[in-house]
Structure 1
């Protein structure tokens, strides 16, 4: 398996922390990014504590979001959708594989639901590609729970990571990185525009979780 240096933008949030932990556990070097370098270092120390004594783990360091991206060949966007476009436009992402796990959601009295992006003709991942035309966008890791990512299991081997993008080569990189999470490659789920379906599907899993008091994921059968 190829080793990558992965920057996690939003690495101090539950999803970013959990994915950073899993990537490092799988042997990749991880830079946790944040608006605050001090906060990033606090979380990086927490992740390093979880990895202490684990053979084959990658290095975990901390930086501001901007600095983290400059040091990486793969960048994960693990940030809230609120403020997403302004942040993404400001980052040095040209020439990098950029993985979006951003889920544009809203909540009301009836629960979670997906936001309509660009009148139904867009998604957070596509917005990031438009803002960063010299980066290669891939959508993945939308449906893995932050709770299970930070859990004690060696792998989330009951789940699959669905991967969408317009570059076959970039998808193959991300599908292999997904092995750090589930113990097997991610599933090629098609073109980047299908992020329009993957992102709001997270609201369905949130509804399932609330009803059954669990942390559900997705598994593709028949492959």
Structure 2
């Protein structure tokens, strides 16, 4: 089976969610670029993941700007506090590309309370910053890194919002490559729902003493079934 040709950059890839997605996509054969503000942190994350996946995995560590420049698809996995600043640093490098925004507008310490940014969602803020030549697609907010960094089957679904229908289809392919089921959830305005669900799931985790509550769409025939 041939390896996928696309190169994926994970901006903020040294964090938990970034590592989890990198693990899944590298295991699926993609070339993964781990981006960080500090190159040494990116290299350390690559070394950590190679210990689990083997030296043959196609993965490199570099700065956020370098990763965004070299990639076909860019994935943003930074905390909301760093969202705007990070987008501005990679704005020139992502023009004409798909940017998958995984950011959730959490406002510590009240992370179990839904926060709605002035633009409506973090993804809409990203679109406003990057401009119309970038296809901003919201996805992966409701998947915990505990799931991603393990090899078990994940019984959680991913809502994919934003961009064009073609851009959402590309992102759904990456969702499936990560071992998940993705659903086309419509335009970027709908990302407010996926982002807001994260606060609810965090609250459920705390209330029931678990780490990996998620969502699952029912009533529709699933591809894996």
Q: Which residue pairs with 1:36 in the alignment?
A: 38
- Aligned partner of 1:192 among 188, 205, 222: 188
Within 1, Cα distance between the matches of 2:128 and 2:72?
Answer: 19
TM-score, structure 2 length as denominator?
0.89
Q: Which contiguous aligned blocks of 4+ residues in structure 1 show a shift greater than 6 angstroms?
A: none
Within 1, Cα distance between the matches of 2:176 and 2:107?
Answer: 30
Within 1, Cα distance between the matches of 2:102 and 2:65?
Answer: 18
Q: Which residue pairs with 1:137 in the alignment?
A: 136
Within 1, Cα distance between the matches of 2:30 and 2:98?
Answer: 15
Alignment deviations for residues 45-77 of structure 1 (CA, whole Å, 9 cap, x no partner): 111121128xxx851111100000011010000
- Aligned partner of 2:19 among 9, 13, 17: 17
Q: Helix, strand or coil: the match of 2:107?
A: strand
Summarize the Cα distance change of 1:166–1:69 in structure 2 as closer, same or farther, 3 Å threshold. closer
Q: Report if aligned partners of 1:159, 1:182 keep a CA contact under 8 Å in 2.
A: no
Q: Helix, strand or coil: the match of 2:17?
A: helix
Summarize the Cα distance change of 1:70–1:111 in structure 2 as closer, same or farther, 3 Å threshold. closer
Q: Does 1:76 align with 2:75?
A: yes
Q: Helix, strand or coil: the match of 1:116?
A: coil
Within 1, Cα distance between the matches of 2:57 and 2:54?
Answer: 11
Within 2, Cα distance between the matches of 1:89 and 1:200?
Answer: 24
Q: Report if aligned partners of 1:5, 1:30 keep a CA contact under 8 Å in 2.
A: yes
Q: Helix, strand or coil: the match of 2:47?
A: helix
Q: Does 1:167 align with 2:157?
A: no
Q: Which residue pairs with 2:62 in the alignment?
A: 63
Within 1, Cα distance between the matches of 2:165 and 2:4?
Answer: 16
Give unpaired runs (5+ residues) of structure 1: none
Summarize the Cα distance change of 1:104–1:183 in structure 2 as closer, same or farther, 3 Å threshold. closer
Within 2, Cα distance between the matches of 1:25 and 1:162?
Answer: 22
Within 2, Cα distance between the matches of 1:24 and 1:37?
Answer: 19
Q: Which residue pairs with 2:117 in the alignment?
A: 117
Give unpaired runs (5+ residues) of structure 2: 221-225
Q: Does 1:4 align with 2:1?
A: no
Aligned residues: 214
